[in-house]
Amino acid sequence: MPLPPSPTAAAAEDAPGLRKIIHVDMDAFYASVEQRDAPELRGRPVAVGGSAARGVVAAASYEARAFGVRSAMPSARAVQLCPELIFRRPRFEVYRAVSQQIRAIFLDYTPHVEPLSLDEAYLDVTRDLRGIGSATRIAELIRQRIRAETGLTASAGVSYNKFLAKLASDQNKPDGLCVIRPGEGAAFVASLPVARFHGVGPRGAEKMAGLGIATGADLRRLDLATLRQHFGAQADYLYRAARGIDLRAVMADRPRKSVGAERTFDRDLSSGSVLRETLETIIDLAWDRIARADASGRTVTLKLKFRDFSAMSRARSVAAPIATRVALAEVARGLLDQVLPLPQPVRLMGVTLSALDEPGQDADAGATAPGQAQLPF
């Protein structure tokens, strides 16, 4: 059973001069590209995704977000919230091209770039290629170049570990920069709602609220044994996160095992026609994530969880990599048809693409040993 970090480890994480990590996150990436390429859309609420009754919002501009429109929201609901919403079909080939431009900018400063999707990445600039030394200055330069070379804005977070850098990049969105310096992490985390922690979803936040946990400070008051009692395998992560501790290295070109999406329904579903229609929504959500990751793969898995919480999965592998939504949908529909009619109503459905055709790299790629940073943060 893992032990909590020793006081020495925690102190080392907060000590100056360990690592310099930047998290860069493009602002409303898909929607911003559409507004850039169609000037008549600028300043107007835009959603990227399907506008049909069973469509899903893949991305929303900040003008649309002001009305409550969010990614993964059913398009019908988005239109209810914002009747003036303008839909655009995704242009993934354009988004990939822009992402490659942005990736090239990152690589001008460090080879240690860990892409999370087309629109965000971690950079380890503990030793940067240009000898600038200041992670804050590098983040400023990267944001300036992204604006100048792509016409888009990016937000960035700068800190001494990945967890804090990601929190920081979301702090001053859009078009913002936030720096959490060595020694400041624990205090920064203490003031945040636990819903801001990566991996704490709506249900997790609701469970924490029932335990009287609203902020990082509340979470920090619980010992590891109590956290394990209530949160199981997630306890060790929560223990460290509440203290601003994250020892993960930036992993350049980290290989993915799978990409997909799943949804738990408000009510259990049993009708074959409803399940087929719902599957299309799940495929849309899964394909959005697959496209963001710029991934292709050969195995499609359909996951179903029933009313009694038992689960069923069916998978099919194909000879050629699945590189389009049409191909993904064809396989996923076939898997659902194989299991219909179902033995009982379904409460969750998921679609995943695996056996990905992505370049792997040694597990130590991109890691920077502690103690290398000697220049200002």
Mean pLDDT on 30-49:
96
What's the whole-number average pLDDT of the chain?
A: 86
**CA 87, CA 273: separation in Å to the nearest integer?**
26
Residues 33 and 147 in one domain: yes
Q: Is the pLDDT of residue 254 over 70?
A: no
- The verdict on 204 and 140 lying in the same domain is no
d(CA 118, CA 25): 10
Give the CATH number of the domain where residue 61 resides.
3.30.70.270
pLDDT in tens, 205-242: 888 999 999 999 999 999 999 999 998 888 999 999 99
Burial of residue 291 (CB within 10 Å: 0-12, 13-18, 19+) is buried
Same domain, 159 and 194: no
**What's phi and psi for 174, nearest 5 deg?**
-85, 165
Would you say 25 is a known binding-site residue? yes
Q: Is residue 34 part of a domain?
A: yes
Strand 113-117 relative to strand 346-356, pairing: unpaired
% the chain with pLDDT above 90: 62
- The predicted model gives 354-373 an average pLDDT of 46
CA distance 194 to 234: 14
Domain final position from 128, 147, 181: 181
Q: At 150, which helix (H) or strand (E)?
A: helix 135-150
Closest CA to 302 of 287, 317, 312: 312
**Contact (CB, 8 A) for 272 and 340:** yes
Report residue 167 as tokens: 């929190």
120 catalytic residue (yes or no): yes
Tell me the sheet residues that pair with 313: 303
With a cut of 70, say whether residue 150 has pLDDT above it.
Answer: yes
Active-site pick, 13, 34, 114, 120: 120
pLDDT the model gives residue 10: 41
Domain stop point among 164, 181, 198: 181
Both 170 and 238 in one domain: the answer is: no
pLDDT for 108-140, tens place per residue?
999 999 998 899 999 999 999 999 999 999 999
Q: Do residues 79 and 217 both lie within one domain?
A: no
- Give the pLDDT of residue 3: 40
Per-residue pLDDT tens over the stretch 191-204 = 999 999 987 877 78
177 and 64 share one domain: yes
Residue type, 264: T
* CA separation for the pair 44, 38 (Å, rounded): 11
Pair of tokens at residue 36: 């850039």
* Residue 271 pLDDT > 60: yes
Q: What is the pTM of this model?
A: 0.73
Domain count, the chain: 3
Task: Note the pLDDT of residue 47.
Answer: 95
d(CA 96, CA 210): 42
Neighbours of 266 (CB within 10 A): 7
pLDDT in tens, 51-74: 766 678 889 999 999 999 998 888
- What's the pLDDT at 53? 67
For residue 255, name the pLDDT band (cuts at 50, 70, 90): low
Whether residue 143 lies inside any domain: the answer is: yes
> What is the band of 311 on the pLDDT scale with cuts at 50, 70, 90?
confident
Domain hosting 349: range is: 258-356
**74 vs 154: which has the higher pLDDT:** 154
* 119 annotated among ligand-binding-site residues: yes
- Which residue in this structure is represented by tokens 């200041």? 134
